[in-house]
Amino acid sequence: MGRALRIYWWALRNTYEELFTLGLINLAWWGIGFGLPIGVSYLGLQWLSVVLLLLLVPPPTAGVQYCANRMAHDKPISFGLFWEGTKKYALKSLLLGWLGLLVSAIIVANIIFYGGYEGSWTVWVQALFFSMLLYWSVIQIYVFPMLLEMKEEKLLLALRNALFLVLSSPLLALLLAILLVATAALSLVLVLPAVFIMTGLVALIANRGLVELLTAYRKRVEGSSEESDTDDTPGSS
Query: Exposed (0-12), middle (13-18) or buried (19+): which is 15, by Cβ within 10 Å?
Result: buried
Q: List the domain boundaries for the chain.
A: 2-219
The pLDDT, as a whole number, for residue 94 is 93
Q: Spell out the residues 6+ positions from residue 49 whose beta carbon is closer than 8 angstroms to its own.
A: 37, 38, 40, 41
The pLDDT, as a whole number, for residue 82 is 93
Global pTM reads 0.84
Q: Spell out the residues 6+ positions from residue 44 whose beta carbon is closer than 8 angstroms to its own.
A: none
Q: What is the pLDDT along the chain (237 residues), one digit of tens a residue?
A: 677 888 888 888 888 888 888 889 999 998 998 888 888 888 888 888 888 989 999 999 999 999 999 999 888 888 999 999 999 999 999 999 999 999 999 999 998 888 877 777 888 888 899 888 988 888 888 899 999 988 877 888 888 888 888 887 778 888 888 888 888 888 888 777 777 888 888 899 999 888 888 887 777 767 666 565 555 544 443
Q: Are 165 and 142 in contact (CB under 8 A)?
A: yes
How long is the chain? 237
The pLDDT, as a whole number, for residue 229 is 54
